[in-house]
Amino acid sequence: MILESASLTLIGFIALIGFLLLFIAKFKWHVFFAMLLPLVAFALIPGVNLNNFIDAFESGFGKTLSGIAIVIVLGSIMAEALKHTGAIEVITKSMVKLVGKKRMPLALTLSGFILGVAVFSDIAFVILNPLVHSAAAVMGVSMSSMSTGLVVALQLTHAVVPPTPGPLAAAAIVGADIGKVIIFGALVTLVGALGGWIWGQFIVGPKIDAPPSEEYIGKSFIDGNIDAEDDSQPSTLKSYLPIIVPVVLIALQSVFKFTLPEENILNSIFGFLGWPVVALGIGVLLSYSNITKDEHKEAAKNDWVEEGLRTSAMILVVTGLGGSLSQVLRGTPAVTAVTDFVASAGLPAILLPFIIGVLGNTITGSTTVGAITSASLLAPMLPSLGLSPEVAVLAGGSGAIIIKYVNSSYFWVCTSLTKMDLKDALISYGGGTLIGGILSFLATWVLWGVGLI
């Protein structure tokens, strides 16, 4: 036991969270130091067994990263390849063909739903921004109508559906089955993404005067003939494969694990192919097979890898510290105290990860931090709360996109690129992520209520 006193544990626990949020929101510290210093300071509470604390800190950090670090790096490298090879544009074109140019807001929403699984939200939005302006001009609608569904969809799958780093990290911390998180995460985020599309196109979009910018009109990759082939870009099938193949392999591993006898040959085959390290490795190879330009062949050897490592670094250290926090809490009476409070108050247990995800994102502005914080705090409590690890990831991730506003870098990327007024962006994007997050959470609640997760 790290600390015997329940009252001191709760005081230290509340102070830790308070300082974490204060350092980020008030003093603008990097999340690494904002998490590290309060966690280390927890060891100064009178009565803490220092040796047990250090053991928990180190084991929690190492154990969490041991199963997820390589996967997060591979996912980041794959995102670089999708960005540079033109696969993002090809996927978006395919969605436009599917639903038609007259339904461009829906096409963009569906594109965001797919791309958010593999590509960081702000990167995808930067690439698609000229298309958003051009489509709004052609259809004669506001930027709010055209872009809100895309903004919400990108954030939802980024927060909930592996192999995006945030949900991968959250799943590792709570010990969730990644295949289940992919399958059910896709279902609940589709509900939320469509809610964001409805909010933008039909509810607030027509009321907001936010015209497209002329500087982007005519520069979109889709302004010409949508059926025209571009030899520098991969085919539609090859563009989708790096995303779909890893997701399917991981999902099949989970399906066969729970439906077939352990000795079945399919369990052996997909136990290896569906191992996230192998599945994401295959995804990277497939994304690299789309390289056609000579400069990309050189960049892929080192530049894309180094960029992927830089992108992964923050997520890895925050994930490790989240694992340390979770392991430290396991050695204190805080777990029992919190779960007893939830039970005595009559609150549905599923609200707890959702609320923590909301608070983490709303205060820090980071979807990833919100999802990881929720998983870190809930991991020791799940057995007592009666929640599965998968529910914790989905509920926490759904909360972690509520609400995107001025302290979120993603909010400013979308607002500045669409050239919307701050007030209009707050209504469109803040409201859209609120609706999308709530609907995804309610869908998660339904799946949990009927016993599917």
Q: Which helix (H) or strand (E) holds 37?
A: helix 31-41
The reported pLDDT for the residue numbered 365 is 73
| Average pLDDT over all residues of the chain | 86
Strands (E), 313-380: none
Of all residues in the chain, the percent with pLDDT exceeding 90 is: 31
In a domain, 341, yes or no: yes
* Tokens describing residue 143: 């930027």
Q: What is the tens place of the pLDDT at every residue in 69-114?
A: 888 888 888 888 888 888 888 888 888 888 887 899 999 999 999 9
Model confidence at 204, pLDDT cuts 50, 70, 90, reads: very high
Phi, psi for residue 227 in degrees, rounded to 5: -90, -5
In a domain, 398, yes or no: yes
The reported pLDDT for the residue numbered 406 is 67
The reported pLDDT for the residue numbered 180 is 93
Give dist(CA 72, CA 65) in Å, integer. Answer: 10
Q: What is the tens place of the pLDDT at every residue in 35-75?
A: 788 888 888 888 889 999 999 999 988 887 887 788 888 88
Q: Residue 155: give the domain boundaries.
A: 6-239+311-449
CA distances from 322 to 35, 56, 76, 84 (A): 8, 12, 20, 32
The reported pLDDT for the residue numbered 187 is 96
Q: How many Cα neighbours within 13 Å face the side chain of 393?
A: 34
The reported pLDDT for the residue numbered 258 is 79
The reported pLDDT for the residue numbered 310 is 86
In a domain, 250, yes or no: no
In a domain, 293, yes or no: no
Among 103, 64, 202, smallest CA distance to 145 is for 202
CA 319-161-247 angle, 5° bins: 110
Are 195 and 202 within 8 A, CB to CB?
Answer: no
Q: What is the tens place of the pLDDT at every residue in 124-177?
A: 888 888 888 888 888 889 999 999 999 999 999 999 998 888 898 899 889 999
Q: What is the tens place of the pLDDT at every residue in 335-390?
A: 667 666 666 777 898 998 998 888 877 766 778 878 888 898 888 888 888 899 99
Higher per-residue confidence, 28 vs 190: 190
Q: What is the tens place of the pLDDT at every residue in 252-282?
A: 888 888 788 888 888 889 999 999 899 999 9
Rounded to 10°, the helix 367-378/389-399 angle is 150
Q: How many CB atoms lie within 10 A of CB 446?
A: 13
**Rg for the chain, CA atoms, rounded:** 22
Q: What is the tens place of the pLDDT at every residue in 297-312?
A: 888 888 889 988 887 8
Q: Which helix (H) or strand (E) holds 105?
A: helix 104-115
Instruction: Give the DSSP per-residue string, 373-409.
Output: HHHHHHGGGHHHHT--HHHHHHHHHHHTTTT--TT-H
Q: What is the tens place of the pLDDT at every residue in 211-225?
A: 988 776 666 656 555
Residue whose structure tokens are 């696969």: 87
- The span from the first CA to the last CA of the chain, in angstroms, equals 32
Are 351 and 442 within 8 A, CB to CB?
Answer: no
Write the burial class of residue 135 (CB in 10 Å: 0-12 exposed, 13-18 middle, 19+ buried). buried
In a domain, 278, yes or no: no
Give dist(CA 406, CA 288) in Å, integer. Answer: 36
Helix (H, G, I), strand (E, B) or coil at 49: coil
Are 167 and 160 within 8 A, CB to CB?
Answer: yes
The count of structural domains within the chain is 1
Would you state the torsion angle of the CA atoms of residues 179, 182, 185, 189, taken in this order, to the nearest 10 degrees?
-170
Residue whose structure tokens are 């709010």: 144
Give dist(CA 136, CA 148) in Å, integer. Answer: 12
Contacts with 195 (C-beta within 8 Å, 6 or more apart), sequence order: 152, 435, 436, 438, 439
In a domain, 304, yes or no: no
CA distances from 201 to 139, 194, 336, 402 (A): 12, 10, 46, 20
Are 421 and 178 within 8 A, CB to CB?
Answer: no
* Tokens describing residue 353: 């990860």
The reported pLDDT for the residue numbered 217 is 66
* Tokens describing residue 325: 């926090």
Mean pLDDT of 408-429: 87
In a domain, 283, yes or no: no
Model confidence at 230, pLDDT cuts 50, 70, 90, reads: low
Mean pLDDT of 398-411: 81
Give dist(CA 244, CA 326) in Å, integer. Answer: 32
Mean pLDDT of 9-38: 77
Residue 5 predicted with pLDDT over 90: no
* Tokens describing residue 181: 């998180």
* Tokens describing residue 101: 């140019």
| Residue type at 330 in one-letter notation | R
The reported pLDDT for the residue numbered 191 is 97
In a domain, 274, yes or no: no
The reported pLDDT for the residue numbered 197 is 97
Among 300, 123, 105, smallest CA distance to 212 is for 105
Write the DSSP symbol of residue 426. I
Model confidence at 120, pLDDT cuts 50, 70, 90, reads: confident
Give dist(CA 152, CA 121) in Å, integer. Answer: 10
Are 286 and 77 within 8 A, CB to CB?
Answer: no
What is the model's pTM? 0.80
Model confidence at 238, pLDDT cuts 50, 70, 90, reads: very high
Are 441 and 398 within 8 A, CB to CB?
Answer: yes
Highest average pLDDT, of 18-32, 70-84, 171-185, comes from 171-185
